[in-house]
């Protein structure tokens, strides 16, 4: 079962993620000081739910996760990406991009689209690369 996980940075500086789709008889979320910690917490909860349901003779569907990030959680999780280089690829001022990734400023829909296209290009380039 393919589900979408929303990954967000909270106002308190921590990160959360949750499955936005309806799951049969349970919800799924995670929390942490980093986006990675929130994801790990959610995956641990999923494994625990599978074990609990198995003990009760119930089956939890195998989930295939797709992650949808806000800008802050994306650049926290993929911290190896150079924010300034991504901004350059997207045609966005690097200083403004750092404001978006720190949460000081919010990107509008046009800016999000530019960033999405740049990330898509990076993804394609990485997929095509080999050693």
The domain limits of the chain are 2-69, 81-128
**pLDDT at site 108:** 94
| pLDDT at residue number 106 | 93
Tokens 């300034």 belong to which residue?
84
Fold of 2-69: Double Stranded RNA Binding Domain (3.30.160)
Predicted TM-score of the model (pTM): 0.87
pLDDT at 58: 87
The string of DSSP letters for the chain reads -EEEEEEEE-TTS-EEEEE-S--TT---EEEESSHHHHHHHHHHHHHHHHHHHHHTT--PPP-EEEEEE-HHHHHHHTTTS-HHHHHHHHT--HHHHHHHHHTSS---HHHHHHHHHHHHHHHHHHHH---
User: From CA 51, how far away is CA 78, in angstroms rounded?
Assistant: 30
Structure tokens given for 12: 């308190």
Are 20 and 5 in contact, with CB atoms under 8 Å apart?
yes
Q: Which pLDDT tens digit goes with each residue over 53-80?
A: 899 988 888 999 999 999 999 999 999 9
Do 7 and 70 contact (CB within 8 A), yes or no?
yes
Which residues does the chain have with pLDDT short of 50? Answer: none
What residues have CB less than 8 Å from 8, skipping those under 6 apart?
15, 16, 17, 69, 70, 72, 73
């Amino acid at each position: 079962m393919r589900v979408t996980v929303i990954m967000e940075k909270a106002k308190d500086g921590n990160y959360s993620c949750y499955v936005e789709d309806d799951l049969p008889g349970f919800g799924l979320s995670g929390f942490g000081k980093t986006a990675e910690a929130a994801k790990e917490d959610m995956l641990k909860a999923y494994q625990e739910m599978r074990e609990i349901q198995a003990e009760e003779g119930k089956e939890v569907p195998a989930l295939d996760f797709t992650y949808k990030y806000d800008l802050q959680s994306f650049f926290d999780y993929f911290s190896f990406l150079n924010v300034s280089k991504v901004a350059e690829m997207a045609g966005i001022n690097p200083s403004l991009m750092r404001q978006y990734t720190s949460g000081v400023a919010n990107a509008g829909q046009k800016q999000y689209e530019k960033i999405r296209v740049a990330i898509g290009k990076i993804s394609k380039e990485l997929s095509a690369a080999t050693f």
